Amino acid sequence: MIRLAIDARELRAGARTGIGHYVREVVRAAIARGWHCTVYGDARTAPADVPAGATLTRLMALGTRWWDQVALPRALARDGAQIFLSPYYKAPLVAPCPVVVTIHDLFFIGYGGRRSLRDPVLTAAARLYARRARAIVTDSEHSRRAIVDRLGVEPAKISVIGVAVGAEFVPTRLSDAARARYGVGASYVLFVGNF
């Protein structure tokens, strides 16, 4: 049985995030395959948001960097993790097991004229984490090309896997009343995001 460990700090009471949803669906899928899943959280991680069958381990640390680079690697070694999945571009630089990072996109380092003074530092950090990871998961071919071009990662190291969509997301037909109320035509695109 595979012993999968996942950073689950996004599973917080009252907070629904895209990364939290991704974590829940990955854990559910791994458990369905018979894998043992340990999810690592912090003081804010909500046990009720952890999928059934997963083990929640809360790690207390003096800050995010300490949690990432000291507390988490110690816990991975103690718990015998065989693989660690980070739902972020960052992960422990030294870990006792293979590390897989998730890079959903590279908007955090600026795109299309949107640049900040932090971009060179974040870009260097992203390159380092990507280099150290055994593998990288991303959501789209566009993101894969961006990771190759902007972070200098070998294409073979990157797997494109569609975002973990829950069973509750199914196509529905928009009623005529709702179309009229919101001024929606026969074809439409719904964007939900923060960019």
Q: Where are the domains of the chain?
A: 3-167
Helix (H, G, I), strand (E, B) or coil at 2: coil
Per-residue pLDDT of the chain (195 residues; tens, 9 = 90+): 899 999 999 998 888 888 998 999 999 999 999 999 999 999 999 898 899 999 999 998 889 999 999 999 999 999 999 999 999 999 999 999 999 999 999 888 866 666 677 788 888 999 999 999 999 999 999 999 999 999 999 999 999 987 756 666 666 777 888 888 888 887 777 777 765
Cβ-contact 12, 50 below 8 angstroms: no
Give the Cα separation of 96 and 100 in Å (integer). 13
Q: Which of 131, 139, 143, 192 is nearest to 162 (CA)?
A: 139
Q: How far is CA 15 from CA 10, 109, 166, in A?
A: 8, 24, 17
Q: How far is CA 78 from CA 47, 97, 158, in A?
A: 21, 11, 28
How many C-beta neighbours within 10 Å does residue 134 have?
13
Q: Which CATH architecture has domain 3-167?
A: 3-Layer(aba) Sandwich (3.40)
